[in-house]
Copies of this chain bind each other. A is one copy, B any other.
Amino acid sequence: MRNEQRRTETRASILNAATSGFIADGYDRTGVAEICRRAGVSKGAFYYHFESKETVFLELLETWLSNLEYSLMKVAAEASTVPESLLRMAGMMQVVLQSNNTQISIFMELWTQASRNEQVRRATLAPYQKYQRILENLIRQGIAEGTLKPIDPVSGAQVILSLSSGLFLQAILDPLGADWGKVLQDSIRILLDGLTRRE
């Protein structure tokens, strides 16, 4: 069983090295040689464990997106009302936004590759559409419980997703240009002002 550990460790170090490489320089500009250098292994090891550079990226992609989905579902489930769910999701995003921007840079790489590679596009879009449906149901629930105005759930969900994506995008491009955590807070407040029911 010692081989299994070796295998796991090597694979992990390659995946980690690829992650930091892709984040720092992007998929295209990060060569297999560079990944191996960072991981402290040879190309032989790389191609023994992975079929190609692309499969490494696809494997990382799945990890990232399933992690995100798990976090979102968990946070949403902890709230009692819909606006509170949204606020909690925003809180989670705020943590990501204000942390080391290493994490959000992943999304830039994801979007870039998704716009060019059909396989990446499919893999990226699937969870995206899942978030969309989660938000739609959340909005429907909010309308039912009377905390939200009777808007179109589909559009509402897309607005939230767009706003989130845009915030991430701006935070990546101009991390010091604003306090993106604060902007996120204000965004949610403005959005909820337009969404919540008043009498």
B-contacting residues of A (Cβ < 8 Å)? 25-26, 28-29, 105, 108, 111-112, 114-116, 121, 124-125, 128-129, 149, 151-152, 154-156, 158-159, 161-167, 169-170, 172-174, 177-178, 182-183, 186-187, 190-195
Interface residues of A: mostly helix, strand, loop or mixed?
A: helix
Q: How often does this chain occur in the complex, in copies?
A: 2
B26 with A112: CB separation less than 8 A: yes
In Å, the complex CA distance between A178 and B174 comes to 28
B169 with A165: CB separation less than 8 A: yes
Most chain B beta-carbon contacts within 10 A, residue among A125, A162, A165? A162
In Å, the complex CA distance between A178 and B111 comes to 18
Contacts of A124 in B (CB 8 A): 173
Provided the pairs A158-B183, A183-B158 are in contact, do residues A128 and B174 lie with their beta carbons within 8 angstroms? Answer: yes
A182 with B155: CB separation less than 8 A: yes
Closest 6 CB pairs of A and B: A166-B166, A194-B194, A162-B166, A193-B194, A155-B186, A165-B166
A27 shortest CB reach to chain B, Å: 9
Contact of A152 among B149, B165, B186, B192 (CB under 8 A): B186
Question: Can you list 8 contacts pairing A with B, beta carbon distance less than 8 Å?
Answer: A26-B116, A111-B169, A128-B174, A155-B183, A159-B183, A159-B187, A191-B191, A194-B195
A170 with B177: CB separation less than 8 A: no
Contacts of A28 in B (CB 8 A): 26, 28-29
Provided the pairs A166-B164, A167-B166 are in contact, do residues A156 and B190 lie with their beta carbons within 8 angstroms? Answer: yes
A143 shortest CB reach to chain B, Å: 14
Contacts of A173 in B (CB 8 A): 111, 114-115, 121, 124-125, 128
Closest to A112 in B: B112
